């Protein structure tokens, strides 16, 4: 299901559309192979490999994010207990997880990626009281981004592919920081 939102205080409409491996592989392949994405996603591979990755996602729900009709972001959402991450920190049964990236370098610093993060968190926090992510501890840009969104540290863990900072955002803290965002997103399935 595709959904759209304009968050409180914003003028940009964000649209989240389910990724279609058949139609979105080329764009996501391009983004995964960009120098600012490759070190963190480790998916700088061929288009057929990206297609196979997207087609093979099971517990991860992939989204293509557009701002006023222009695609710029890729997001994966998931229930943490269905993911290997759950074994690395004290996961709660209702923890919601996410991964995200911004494809076009020109979008970084525009404010639109922060809107995407707010919308993702609002969507997840309408499903459970806590949202988590696990960026590489060396990814200073992502750590700063998460800090600005209001995520706090649950500690560092050694995952098979990286040393990760497990970051979390509680529903009550999010609502205090971004009032009206969860209501703007609504409860979508």
pLDDT in tens, the chain (189 residues): 999 999 999 999 999 999 999 999 999 999 999 999 999 999 999 999 999 999 999 999 999 999 999 999 999 999 999 999 999 999 999 999 999 999 999 999 999 999 999 999 999 999 999 999 999 999 999 999 999 999 999 999 999 999 999 999 999 999 999 999 999 998 765
CA 21 to chain centroid, in Å, comes to 18
Bridge partners, 61 (sequence order): 77
> Alpha-carbon distance 36 to 34, whole Å?
6
At 187 the pLDDT is: 73
CB 120 within 8 A of CB 75: yes
pTM: 0.96
- Please name the residue that has the structure tokens 């392949």: 29
Domain residue extents for the chain: 3-184
At 64 the pLDDT is: 98
CB 137 within 8 A of CB 165: yes
Closest CA to 75 of 54, 48, 44, 49: 54
At 188 the pLDDT is: 66
Whats the size of the chain, residue-wise? 189
Q: 3-184: what CATH class?
A: alpha beta
> Alpha-carbon distance 158 to 171, whole Å?
26
For 80, half-sphere exposure in the C-beta direction (CA atoms, 13 angstrom radius) is: 26
Angle made by CA atoms 53, 15, 124, in degrees to the nearest 5? 70
* Paired tokens of 60: 């991860």
At 14 the pLDDT is: 98
Rg of the chain (C-alpha set)? 16
At 186 the pLDDT is: 87
CB 83 within 8 A of CB 97: yes
CB 150 within 8 A of CB 174: yes
């Amino acid at each position: 299901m595709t959904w759209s939102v304009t968050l409180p205080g914003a003028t940009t409409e964000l649209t989240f559309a389910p990724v279609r491996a058949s139609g979105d592989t080329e764009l996501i392949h391009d983004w995964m192979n960009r120098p600012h994405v490759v070190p963190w996603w480790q998916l700088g591979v061929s288009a057929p490999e990206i297609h196979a990755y997207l087609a093979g996602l099971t517990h991860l729900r992939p989204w293509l994010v557009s701002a006023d009709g222009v695609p710029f972001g890729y997001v994966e959402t998931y229930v943490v207990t269905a993911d290997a991450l759950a074994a690395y920190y004290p996961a709660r049964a209702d923890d919601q997880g996410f991964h995200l990236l911004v494809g076009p370098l020109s979008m970084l610093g525009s404010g639109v990626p922060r809107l995407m993060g707010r919308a993702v968190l609002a969507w997840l926090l309408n499903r459970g009281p806590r949202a988590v992510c696990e960026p590489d501890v060396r990814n200073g840009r992502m750590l700063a981004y998460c800090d600005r969104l209001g995520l706090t540290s649950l500690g560092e863990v050694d995952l098979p592919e990286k040393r990760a900072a497990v970051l979390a955002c509680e529903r009550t803290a999010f609502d205090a920081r971004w009032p009206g965002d969860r209501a703007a997103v609504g409860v979508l399935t």
